[in-house]
Amino acid sequence: MFETLLLNFLFILLPVVIFLIFFENRPNSFNKIILIFLSTVTMVLCMTIPIKLKVGFNVDLRYIPIIIVSLFGGYKKVFPLYVVLNIYRYYLGGDGILQSFIYSTGVFILLPAFSKRFIQLSSKRRISSAALVSFLNVGVYLISLSFYFNSLNREFWTLTFYTLTTYTGMMIIIMVLIEQIITNSKNRERFLQSERLNVVSELSASVSHEIRNPLTVTSGFLQLLSESKTINHEERRYVELSLQELNRAERIVSNYLSLAKPQSENMVYSDFREEADYIKDLIIPYATMHQVEVQFCFNNTLKKRYDKNQIQQCLINLLKNGIEAMKDKGGTLIIDIFEQKQNIVFEISDTGIGMTKEEILRLGKPYYSTKEEGTGLGMLMVYSTVNKLKGKIEVESEKGRGTIFLITIPV
Ligand code: ADP
Ligand code: MG
């Protein structure tokens, strides 16, 4: 019994190990197919070599991959497993094909319904609820089995003990592994993002500094030139145009490259009200131009120390993106700033083109832009600013429906 137990443990480990070694860094949709395939293989292996208990019954761990895939992936992902399970069970033959079919159908209908809620749980809760589910699953199986025993004798209780402990134990082990993998990859992603920000912000700080000097000098001389009496009207117009463009360049440099450290002269201790009002007034003409309605709501009394220019720029970038996402057919841009426990929350939602999961993952990477005239620096600046305030950004988006940015800043 011990050998088959170990063998089954190996089967269960198989997808985790193979996935971890070969596929962790591949694109998303491909990963999912691989995972479903590996889980199916595990299920089939578990069914082929069940654990033989001394009391004369077989226990197999086929429901462990099914439970995990149902909870993490929902109906669509577990469907192949469900089909393969029943085909293979039919092929294996023996008693109880119908019961197995009914039971697996029950599991297939019930369990994936909890998937959405399951995914939102914390890591620890996920482990314990998966363990609970597998406990209940075996429980139901044992209760149905108890009808075959004439009396609930010692044999039955031994069986109960073994199956419950193996199932729940295995589930806990495997879930701890899966959760650790998820945590590791999240940490790695966060680390990479902050490294990227560091590199870009250092680079942009020095570049913006270097460019600002010649800009100032040039615009100074052009100003002198425009006051000169010897140039004619036409020439003065050229000089003024050049000055305007230089001003624009100066703005771009200070706005788009202001990823650098917060500047002490801009630091304030405040509740974001002034900045929010300012950008609201600034953005409304731009919104009207694109048939976008702006709804604004401010409900915050919490205060925080921040660089006001950077916050303004950060909000402008977010709102501009929202409006640009709606510029073909108009829509509503909602800006909601409120307090929640000890956090200030910025919720910015649009009804624009939305993004796919892959696109969301690429947000905030330098020079990532899907727009013809995009710079791909707007979101980078947003991430960098929020990062400096120790806040976090959550993005919810659906293609064709719109996007919600949820920025939570602790005070
Ligand atoms: P840019 O606006 O110059 O393209 P950003 O860094 O501001 O650069 O944005 C990067 C990309 O993220 C955009 O090109 C767009 O594809 C996507 N994006 C950002 N915000 C939204 C949004 N609210 N709706 C849809 N797509 C968005
Ligand atoms: Mg932008």
The pLDDT of residue 140 is 87
b/e code 130-144 from CB counts within 10 Å (16+ = b): bbebbeebbeebeee
Cα distances (Å, whole numbers) of residue 132 to 135, 181, 182, 216, 250: 5, 21, 20, 67, 61
- Neighbouring-strand partners of residue 294: 333
The finding on whether 378 has its CB within 6 A of some atom of ligand 1 is: yes
DSSP readout, 7-35? HHHHHHHHHHHHIIIIITTS-HHHHHHHH
* 2-191 classified as CATH 1.10.1760: yes
pTM of the entire structure? 0.68
For residue 256, pLDDT over 60 is answered with no
- Mutate which of 359, 379, 405 for ligand 1? The one with the most ligand atoms within 8 Å of its CB, which is 379
3-class DSSP state for residue 389?
coil
pLDDT class for 336, splitting at 50, 70, 90? Answer: very high
The pLDDT of residue 64 is 93
List all residues 6 or more positions away from 338 whose beta carbon is below 8 Å from its beta carbon: 297, 298, 299, 300, 344, 345, 347
Asked if residue 65 lies in contact with residue 43, where contact means CB atoms within 8 angstroms, the answer is yes
Give the whole-angstrom CA distance, residue 369 versus residue 308: 26
Q: What is the pLDDT of residues 162-217, one digit of tens each?
A: 888 888 999 999 999 999 988 988 888 888 887 877 777 777 777 777 888 899 89
pLDDT class for 27, splitting at 50, 70, 90? Answer: low
Backbone angles phi, psi at 270, to 5 degrees: -155, -175
Residue 74, Ramachandran bin (φ over 0: left; ψ between -120 and 50: alpha; else beta): left
For residue 249, pLDDT over 60 is answered with yes
Ligand 1 atom nearest 370 alpha carbon: 14
For residue 84, pLDDT over 90 is answered with yes
The finding on whether 382 has its CB within 6 A of some atom of ligand 1 is: no
pLDDT class for 247, splitting at 50, 70, 90? Answer: confident
Query: How high does pLDDT run on average in the chain?
Result: 87
Query: How many helices and strands (H and E) does the chain possess?
Result: 13, 9
Report the amino acid identity of residue 270: S
Give the whole-angstrom CA distance, residue 315 versus residue 377: 13
- Mutate which of 328, 359, 369, 406 for ligand 1? The one with the most ligand atoms within 8 Å of its CB, which is 369
| Closest protein CA for atom 10 of ligand 1 | 369
Q: What is the pLDDT of residues 339-397, one digit of tens each?
A: 998 999 999 999 999 999 889 988 988 888 898 877 788 898 898 889 889 999 999 99
Ligand 1 atom nearest 348 alpha carbon: 23
Task: Find the helix packing angle between 75-92 and 97-110, rounded to 10°.
Answer: 170
List all residues 6 or more positions away from 18 whose beta carbon is below 8 Å from its beta carbon: 38
Asked if residue 205 lies in contact with residue 263, where contact means CB atoms within 8 angstroms, the answer is no
Burial of 280 (0-12, 13-18, 19+ CB in 10 A): middle
DSSP readout, 198-250? HHHHHHHHHHHHHHHHHHHHHHHHHHHHHH-SSS-HHHHHHHHHHHHHHHHHH
The CATH label, of 3.40.1010.10, 3.30.565.10, 3.30.470.20, 3.30.70.60, for the domain at 264-410 is 3.30.565.10
Query: Rounded to the nearest whole angstrom, what is the distance from the C-alpha of residue 139 to the centroid of ligand 2?
Result: 54
The finding on whether 197 has its CB within 6 A of some atom of ligand 1 is: no
| Closest protein CA for atom 14 of ligand 1 | 369
Q: What is the pLDDT of residues 310-329, one digit of tens each?
A: 898 889 889 999 999 998 88
Asked if residue 171 lies in contact with residue 131, where contact means CB atoms within 8 angstroms, the answer is yes
Cα distances (Å, whole numbers) of residue 365 to 148, 254, 275, 376: 61, 20, 26, 8
Q: Which residue has the tokens 């409304």?
A: 284
